[in-house]
Amino acid sequence: MAASQVLRSEWTKIRSVASTVWTLGLAFVVTIALGFLISLLSKNEFDKMNTKDRLSFDPTYISFAGMSLGQLAMIVFGVLVVGNEYSTGMIRTSLAAVPQRATFLFSKVAVATGLAFVIGIITSFVAFFLGQATLGTHRASIGDHGVLRAVIGGGLYMTLIAVFSMGVATMLRSPMLSLGILMPFFFLISNILGAVSATKKIGRYLPDQAGSKIMRVVTPIGDDTPYGPWGGLAIMALWVVAALLGGYALLKRRDA
């Protein structure tokens, strides 16, 4: 089967499964809604902040506060894109139709990545403009230094989270197992490692902590992170590449 036919086939699979479409919609709504609420609270609390907190105040990053929950939906999307075929047994039919496993996997990833990127970029821009409108006099402008990079970076971050989840789901072949590992990893383990002083230097190299650096414009007081915004995104991208290569290696070696 030609690569273009495989791409069309994967596009049909994704848009015909309601759960994958709904998760992208949920990522959009949750990210924007939570970002709006946190921006509103930050505006009301600004006058009560001490000098250190005011110097670390990052209006752009605050508007992306919803990413913490929005990435949950992107993880589910990435897992479902791959895992649905394993849970339903359709993977056997798919691999019979497309025996070239590299073509099969990377066509699926390419289509899903494109869709995640479009939703991620739209979500990031809407979250930013709504958040800044809510912050009032404390807002940032899209033309300010580093702001456009951070907004585009927010879309890239959401996309990479989804693609990383696709790689993990390909390795594990089970939606439940994949979600059972990814959810605690991003929402518990990563936060604990990043908060505890003894493990903080390790935690900053995890994909979510490194990748979220791209959304920051103001460096917090006392932050000694040894890489910048693009360096953090590059670290996250390496995690994504490793997950995809691991998924491909196992897909190539084993039966469906």
Query: To which H or E segment does residue 80 belong?
Result: helix 67-88
What's the domain count of the chain?
Answer: 1
| Of 180, 182, 176, 16, the residue nearest 87 (C-alpha) | 176
Dihedral sign, Cα of residue 51, residue 53, residue 57, residue 63: negative
pLDDT at residue 2, rounded to an integer: 64
pLDDT at residue 50, rounded to an integer: 85
**What residue numbers bound the domain in which 127 lies?**
3-253
Mean pLDDT by runs of 10 across the 256 residues of the chain is 78 83 94 96 86 88 94 95 84 82 90 96 97 93 96 97 96 92 90 85 93 94 91 98 95 76
pLDDT at residue 197, rounded to an integer: 81
| Of 254, 235, 241, the residue nearest 113 (C-alpha) | 241
pLDDT at residue 165, rounded to an integer: 97
Other residues' Cβ atoms within 10 Å of the Cβ of residue 169: 28
pLDDT at residue 255, rounded to an integer: 62
